[in-house]
Amino acid sequence: MSNVLGNNLKITVFGESHGPCIGITIDGISAGVKVDDTFIKECLSKRRPSTSYETKRVEQDNYSIVSGVFEGYTTGTPLTIIIPNENTKSSDYSELKISPRPGHADYVANVKYAGYQDYRGGGHFSGRITAGIVAGGAIVLDALEKIGVKIGSHIVSVKDVKDRKFSNPSEIDVINKKEFPVFDNQEAIENVMKEAAEEGDSVGGVIETMIAGLPVGVGSPMFDSLEASISYAMFAIGGIKGVEFGEGFNFANLKGSEANDAFEIDNKKIVTKTNHNGGVNGGISNGMPVTFNVVVKPTPSISKEQDTVNMLANKNEKLVIKGRHDPAIIRRVNIVIRCMTAFVVADALIARYGEDVLRIGF
Amino acid sequence: MSNVLGNNLKITVFGESHGPCIGITIDGISAGVKVDDTFIKECLSKRRPSTSYETKRVEQDNYSIVSGVFEGYTTGTPLTIIIPNENTKSSDYSELKISPRPGHADYVANVKYAGYQDYRGGGHFSGRITAGIVAGGAIVLDALEKIGVKIGSHIVSVKDVKDRKFSNPSEIDVINKKEFPVFDNQEAIENVMKEAAEEGDSVGGVIETMIAGLPVGVGSPMFDSLEASISYAMFAIGGIKGVEFGEGFNFANLKGSEANDAFEIDNKKIVTKTNHNGGVNGGISNGMPVTFNVVVKPTPSISKEQDTVNMLANKNEKLVIKGRHDPAIIRRVNIVIRCMTAFVVADALIARYGEDVLRIGF
Amino acid sequence: MSNVLGNNLKITVFGESHGPCIGITIDGISAGVKVDDTFIKECLSKRRPSTSYETKRVEQDNYSIVSGVFEGYTTGTPLTIIIPNENTKSSDYSELKISPRPGHADYVANVKYAGYQDYRGGGHFSGRITAGIVAGGAIVLDALEKIGVKIGSHIVSVKDVKDRKFSNPSEIDVINKKEFPVFDNQEAIENVMKEAAEEGDSVGGVIETMIAGLPVGVGSPMFDSLEASISYAMFAIGGIKGVEFGEGFNFANLKGSEANDAFEIDNKKIVTKTNHNGGVNGGISNGMPVTFNVVVKPTPSISKEQDTVNMLANKNEKLVIKGRHDPAIIRRVNIVIRCMTAFVVADALIARYGEDVLRIGF
Amino acid sequence: MSNVLGNNLKITVFGESHGPCIGITIDGISAGVKVDDTFIKECLSKRRPSTSYETKRVEQDNYSIVSGVFEGYTTGTPLTIIIPNENTKSSDYSELKISPRPGHADYVANVKYAGYQDYRGGGHFSGRITAGIVAGGAIVLDALEKIGVKIGSHIVSVKDVKDRKFSNPSEIDVINKKEFPVFDNQEAIENVMKEAAEEGDSVGGVIETMIAGLPVGVGSPMFDSLEASISYAMFAIGGIKGVEFGEGFNFANLKGSEANDAFEIDNKKIVTKTNHNGGVNGGISNGMPVTFNVVVKPTPSISKEQDTVNMLANKNEKLVIKGRHDPAIIRRVNIVIRCMTAFVVADALIARYGEDVLRIGF
């Protein structure tokens, strides 16, 4: 229910920030997909904190694939990856049982789980669990690329500093090679993050994603629309508070004549002259690149003093969050978005073409 | 898969624009919920076109509840509503088999369904199917109100004309009574719509929704987060291209200290001083009003000439869409958003409190 | 939840015995499947009571396909069939609100639905709802046959009178042509039923089904095993109280050396010498015919006096069920089993081969 | 899809016979359920081979609960148990890539997974994966007992040696305490198993299960019927080839007057005089004990020579299965049935009473 995603390619995530490990099980991945550990490690490193303005809690992510891979290829049966948590400090969080951190799930978890929740480091709500999304998603991302579908993501804005948007699919390879996921303006964007770190505060931002190479006809009308499926998965990632496709909220400023994507023949293929709709009509892919934005809210954990309550005594009190946290997670979230998208895209392709599509293509 | 929504309270929609009827089946609604036909009719009338700038195709929506209601109350077994289509003109759409309308699903459906799709009036993709969402959703909306949960929606912007946002739950009753779903600025907003109609063009806009009275603890972390569930349902509605919660995309402009909602005790209850997070933390309701925006793109059907292709001959051609269509659907979509939200909220309440919650409350 | 079946090809059933109509929606059926009304009518007639020992309530089943079919072919979008209920007599059932019939769901529904259930004619629990299973299943059955998969069902025993079992796939066409679904012994079997009718009692029996032509590799290990999926659907049919595959419960009498199906090459294909396992290994089809039995319990509605309780007064009392009912429903259930099986098989084929398989085959 | 079960309480199983570990994730278990490691170990020991006629591969099952439990109680978030595989001998299975064992999934997996399957020890199809079902199910079994619902299972027949059936709920505690799960006739039953072992053959049998204490109204009509849900889960267990409820296939021998369960008042409660229907009417519990049988086929792995094919050379050949295997698994399967049943029952209770039912009862 809450930790399972997908219809044909299903993923189940498990684990907690301060438990021994986190993990993911992928069921329904085509047999015969090559598993490239180098690529998995590369994706995991993109998620790992590495800068001065990110958390000091660094994990090695020494993952193990404990099922579903044999002699280097997927078997078609459930594939499970387990990643140990090594760098845990439980003592940092002992007050959370009583004083909920603003913007976090401490309070709601205390009510929903009647006080039985694991409050340390956010427990199940921690971003740590996304390491499994990345390790598993990397395998699917790789398979998709081999059958002609590429996914790229980058930071498109942090506060008032912007990066240029994707203009065409060839830029996907460009952005995926980048150490820092922007086309331009890396320094200006990082400065905003460092500033927030120095203030003991935090910033968020917007991530743009492009999916290229998806054939026409993937997705369904209504509840299994590509947009519904993608957004559903995006909101499962901590900190995501909005999703928009194509022009997104800018559609509110356009007229129909400005928003419509006219059709034309290009090189004997039907394409659209523009792509305001982000590659999706009526929930179904139209062959143009699928583009969407997600907004990441500023990390709730900041060093500044905040107002909260004492849940036991039921009175107001002040809170200063100690411990290690992320002033700006958006660079690290970028690869999570990309990998999560891979799961949704694969699921939709399998629905249309059958369970072997990731091996044999379409 | 594509026409079923929900986990405990499941809805299935069926029907086509030019078929004999459309309908909806609701399974999992608590037994003993009073069915108020006056309220259902009221909601349906809000969806019905009525202004000069809306489509001339007006349906009476003489619905029949064919199962699941007995002696005025829900039985707990599947509840089906059937609404006849009366005002169909098939001749208006005969070119669509060959010339896809920009922004519509004609092209993708022709590929996905190998030419077997019902192309008349958009077939299954037509907004007509939302009449079932409204008729069925009205029953759930009504039940929710009786157990203390209210949902209100209004137009918050059309092009550069804005309406003020919800500031507190008492405004829900106010907005729900309005004939035209805005707090202020009705005239200015309608003028933008009339202008578009006169130009043979169309406009979209943004709808804001507030859910008040939801207790703490509803929803789950990760994939069954309230935000994931709501957005998934929203994107199933034709024309929706973005969803954002609380501050939404504005989070990109805020620092953590500005975005966080500090906790405080108010009248012995734990509340937040602000509500930037729109009432949801970690996917779970925190007791504050849940607020979200959806963007409706401008209706693709416009009278102006557009560029398209001839799918048979595989060459470019011009298209003028005849027939009846909506220059501005946002007033009509408003009640659809409100009703769809009711389904999601009810589903989440049932998950937490069990199948009788809509009758006995929480 | 309770009225939806399937993963890729989903069916939703709705309606009640004494409501205006019953119906079914099929979502996920491949586009381009020819719809043969003659065949649908033929299947429905097999479900219709026609003998002296069956219920006198005869419906015409004048079904309407209200969506999902266009110019004689499926569109790929949700297909809905509605069948009016014509021959309803509500007055026959007025005591059921207070005195539950043994073997029926009157008591449990009164508790589960807190007294709000529609008690007339069993309401939602009535076998009437299977008319939709047959009308919709007929379309899928037909499509499956065209791509090489045949399904046949017959009565294999009623009390101590037996019919011979399927011995090979060529018998499927033979049994499907039969008016009365047995290979031999029709008279003896009908005599048992007539005897029960005369006594004001009822009998049940066992139905055997064979699926031939299923390619190797359909179904999944564990929870989406072909056996799990088929049994899940079978138990949804009223009166079914057991399902067994291949040797079924007779496996308890065999040793492994007697139960195993040895492999051999036959005409360059891998087959098994025997088929004790009923064509399924580890939840996956092995190319041999899939065979299974279901047991139908004797119809609970009998004319003889029975002991029950008065739920209002909470005391014991006697009950004589008036009204029209079925002393032996097994002949009529046969086509329901066959059609329900078609849904499950189609769903599994789509999972393996993709959404177009019912049109283009495998 | 294939490794996920449940609607509200979801279980995901993963792992392979010869991988580093197997595991299970339970999502949706109520927070605040006490976790009793002694009881988990006790259940696991019942699954462990211990007799002369069972496999020599003995695992210690040193499980770790890696998430979802904190300070001895469930947190309400996903609970994952990982169990290492210690006693693996891969060399025993090297021929399976080419020569499929009759009755096993070797052949179908080779086709379905295009040769990429992990063939060692049955890979994902191995019974080893049921260790996770038992470890996780033990937690749920324990919680159910504390809220008044008990589940007991025992061997009711092996070949022609029978054990007496459950006659009333008080026998559940009796049978659960037994080392060998039978009421009587242990020696005769074990003799049949030893005989099979000595012959290098195998036997199966029938397991009867009783669920007592389930309140009236649990389960739904049609596809979420208790019987549908239980059978679906049963068939996911390797070797299960039939499920029957109450009288099961014996219903075919009864008349309605013999099969119906008359109602009566007993101690002010409504009960049935008999329980032919096994506690379920119309898919919903009626307050009487739920009883059902499953048949376990004889273990396919036998020492005797068998006929098979060479899949590479496409010709017939002989096969002698070396390695360690189970001549009679039924004693070990008994606890698996019991634990799997616990999952289904808990899922159905949560659907009716909400997510906290396992902690607070009904």
pLDDT at D96: 73
Residue D12, CB-side half-sphere exposure with 13 Å CA sphere:
28
pLDDT at A1: 46
Q: Higher confidence at residue B326 or residue D103?
A: D103
B354: chain C residues, CB-CB within 8 Å? none
Which of B2, B221, B277 is opposite residue A221, by nearest beta carbon?
B2
Whether B23 contacts chain C with CB within 8 A? yes
Q: Which of C117, C235, C237, C310 to mutate to test the interface with D (most CBs of D within 10 A)?
A: C235
Contacts of B271 (CB under 8 A, 6+ apart): B263, B264, B265, B287, B288
Question: Are D14 and A25 inside 8 Å of each other by CB?
Answer: yes
Is residue C199 over pLDDT 70?
yes
Contacts of C37 (CB under 8 A, 6+ apart): none
pLDDT at A282: 93
Which of D7, D129, D299 is opposite residue C1, by nearest beta carbon?
D7
A10: chain B residues, CB-CB within 8 Å? none
Contacts of B358 (CB under 8 A, 6+ apart): B29, B30, B33, B140, B143, B144, B147, B346, B349, B350
pTM, whole model, 2 decimals?
0.96
Among candidate residues A97, A93, A94, the one with its CA nearest the CA of residue A313: A97
B7: chain C residues, CB-CB within 8 Å? 1
Q: For C103-149, what is each residue's pLDDT tens digit?
A: 999 999 999 999 999 887 566 667 888 999 999 999 999 999 999 99
The structure tokens 């004549």 sit at: A257
Is residue D1 over pLDDT 60?
no
Supply the DSSP string of C299-318, one letter for each residue. Answer: PS--SS-EEEEETTTTEEEE
Task: Report residues of chain A scoring pLDDT below 70.
Answer: 1, 88-94, 121-125, 324
Secondary structure percentages of chain C, helix, strand, coil, to 5: 35, 25, 40
Whether A16 contacts chain B with CB within 8 A? no
pLDDT at D88: 66
Question: Are D270 and C309 inside 8 Å of each other by CB?
Answer: yes
Whether B125 contacts chain A with CB within 8 A? yes
B1 pLDDT tier (thresholds 50, 70, 90)? very low
Q: For D129-185, what is each residue's pLDDT tens digit?
A: 899 999 999 999 999 999 999 999 999 999 999 999 999 999 999 999 999 999 999
pLDDT at A194: 93
Work out the mean pLDDT of chain C and round it to a whole number.
92
Whether B232 contacts B198, CB under 8 Å? no
Question: Are A224 and B2 inside 8 Å of each other by CB?
Answer: yes
Which of A125, A264, A285 is opposite residue B282, by nearest beta carbon?
A125
The structure tokens 């199948």 sit at: B355
Whether D222 contacts chain C with CB within 8 A? yes
Contacts of B143 (CB under 8 A, 6+ apart): B29, B30, B33, B34, B346, B358, B359
pLDDT at B60: 84
pLDDT at C1: 46
Q: What is the CA radius of gyration of chain A?
A: 21
Minimal CA separation from A42 to chain B, in Å: 25
Q: Which range (A17-21, B250-254, B287-291) has the least confidence?
A: A17-21
C-alpha span between B169 and C96 (Å, rounded): 45
Minimal CA separation from D351 to chain B, in Å: 6
Chains that touch C (3 or more CB pairs under 8 A): A, B, D
C-alpha span between D135 and D139 (Å, rounded): 7
Three-state DSSP class for residue A113: coil
Q: Any bridge partners for residue D291, and if so which?
A: D210
Whether B24 contacts B140, CB under 8 Å? no
Contacts of A73 (CB under 8 A, 6+ apart): A31, A32, A33, A34, A35, D116
Element (H, E) at D333: helix D330-353
Minimal CA separation from B260 to chain A, in Å: 5
Which DSSP state fits C257? H
Whether D133 contacts D117, CB under 8 Å? no
Question: Are B12 and C19 inside 8 Å of each other by CB?
Answer: no
Which of C284, C295, C307 is opposite residue D252, by nearest beta carbon?
C295
Whether B204 contacts A254, CB under 8 Å? yes
Which DSSP state fits A255? B
% of chain D residues with pLDDT over 70: 95
Which DSSP state fits D246? T
Question: Are B8 and D352 inside 8 Å of each other by CB?
Answer: no
% of chain C residues with pLDDT over 90: 81
Residues 257-286 of C with CB under 8 A from D: 257-265, 268, 270, 272-273, 277-278, 281-286
Chains that touch B (3 or more CB pairs under 8 A): A, C, D
Q: For D54-89, what is each residue's pLDDT tens digit?
A: 877 778 889 999 999 999 999 999 999 999 998 766
pLDDT at B343: 98
pLDDT at A341: 98
Q: Any bridge partners for residue A209, and if so which?
A: A153, A292
Residues 226-245 of C with CB under 8 A from A: none
Chains that touch D (3 or more CB pairs under 8 A): A, B, C
C-alpha span between D324 and D57 (Å, rounded): 6
In B217-245, which positions are buried (b, 16+ CB within 10 angstroms) versus exposed (e)? bbbbbbbbbbbbbbbbbbbbbbbbbbbbb
Whether B353 contacts chain D with CB within 8 A? yes
D205: chain C residues, CB-CB within 8 Å? 252
Three-state DSSP class for residue B83: strand
B90 pLDDT tier (thresholds 50, 70, 90)? low
Work out the mean pLDDT of chain B and round it to a whole number.
92
pLDDT at C322: 78
Q: What is the dihedral of CA C125, C130, C131, C132, to 10 degrees?
A: 100
B32: chain D residues, CB-CB within 8 Å? none
Q: Which of D355, D357, D358, D360 to mutate to test the interface with B (most CBs of B within 10 A)?
A: D355
Is residue D122 over pLDDT 80?
no
Element (H, E) at D69: strand D69-70
Supply the DSSP string of D248-307, one letter for each residue. Answer: GGGGGG-BHHHH---EEEETTEEEES--TTTTEETTEE-SSPEEEEEEEPPPS--SS-EE
For A201, name the nearest residue in chain B, comparing CA atoms only.
Answer: B256
Residues 31-70 of D with CB under 8 A from A: 31-32, 64, 66-68, 70
pLDDT at A115: 93
Three-state DSSP class for residue A324: coil
Which of A14, A31, A66 is opposite residue D20, by nearest beta carbon?
A66
Whether D77 contacts chain B with CB within 8 A? yes
Question: At residue D105, what is the residue type?
Answer: A
Question: Which pair of tokens denotes residue D103?
Answer: 């009755």
Whether C20 contacts B86, CB under 8 Å? no
Question: Which pair of tokens denotes residue A336?
Answer: 């999570």
Question: Which pair of tokens denotes residue A310?
Answer: 């004492």
For B225, name the nearest residue in chain A, comparing CA atoms only.
Answer: A236
The two most distant CA atoms of chain D are separated, in Å, by 72
pLDDT at B119: 80
Q: What is the dihedral of CA D271, D275, D279, D282, to 10 degrees?
A: -100
For B362, name the nearest residue in chain D, comparing CA atoms only.
Answer: D354
Q: How many CB pairs under 8 A join B and C?
A: 162
B357: chain D residues, CB-CB within 8 Å? 354
Q: For D292-305, what is each residue's pLDDT tens digit?
A: 999 999 999 888 89
Question: Are C113 and B32 inside 8 Å of each other by CB?
Answer: yes
Whether B78 contacts chain C with CB within 8 A? yes
Supply the DSSP string of A296-312, one letter for each residue. Answer: EPPPS--SS-EEEEETT
C354: chain A residues, CB-CB within 8 Å? 350-354, 357
pLDDT at D128: 86
Strand spans (E) along chain C: 4-5, 10-15, 21-27, 64-67, 69-70, 73-74, 79-84, 150-158, 161-162, 205-212, 240-245, 263-266, 269-272, 280-281, 284-285, 290-296, 306-310, 315-319
Which of C111, C262, C308 is opposite residue D308, by nearest beta carbon?
C262
Is residue B332 over pLDDT 90?
yes
Q: What pairing do the DSSP bridges indicate for beta strands A315-319 and B4-5?
A: unpaired
Whether A307 contacts chain B with CB within 8 A? yes
Whether B342 contacts B140, CB under 8 Å? yes
C-alpha span between B334 and B121 (Å, rounded): 22
Is residue C54 over pLDDT 90?
no
Which of C10, C19, C73 is opposite residue B67, by nearest beta carbon?
C19
D351: chain B residues, CB-CB within 8 Å? 8, 354-355
Q: For C5-48, what is each residue's pLDDT tens digit?
A: 999 999 999 888 788 999 999 999 999 999 999 999 999 999 99
Minimal CA separation from A267 to chain B, in Å: 10
Chains that touch A (3 or more CB pairs under 8 A): B, C, D
Which of B20, B64, B115 is opposite residue C66, by nearest beta carbon?
B20
* Burial of residue A213, with CB atoms counted within 10 A of its CB: 0-12 exposed, 13-18 middle, 19 or more buried: middle
Whether B346 contacts chain D with CB within 8 A? no
Element (H, E) at C99: none
Among candidate residues A40, A2, A56, A30, the one with its CA nearest the CA of residue A301: A56
- Per-residue CA distances from A175 to A160, A207, A213, B241, C325 (Å): 21, 12, 16, 25, 70
Three-state DSSP class for residue D26: strand
Whether C185 contacts C191, CB under 8 Å? no
Which of B202, B222, B282 is opposite residue A256, by nearest beta carbon?
B202
Among candidate residues C134, C171, C126, C137, the one with its CA nearest the CA of residue C153: C171
Q: For D235-267, what is each residue's pLDDT tens digit?
A: 999 899 999 999 999 999 999 999 999 999 999
Is residue C229 over pLDDT 50?
yes
Question: Which pair of tokens denotes residue C40?
Answer: 């649908």
What value does the mean pLDDT take over residues D100-105?
A: 92
Contacts of A126 (CB under 8 A, 6+ apart): A16, A17, A238
Question: Which pair of tokens denotes residue D234?
Answer: 């049963």
How many residues comprise chain D?
Answer: 362
C-alpha span between C41 and C43 (Å, rounded): 5
pLDDT at A358: 98
C-alpha span between C15 and A358 (Å, rounded): 41
Minimal CA separation from A7 to chain C, in Å: 7
Question: Are B102 and A205 inside 8 Å of each other by CB?
Answer: no
The structure tokens 């007599």 sit at: C89
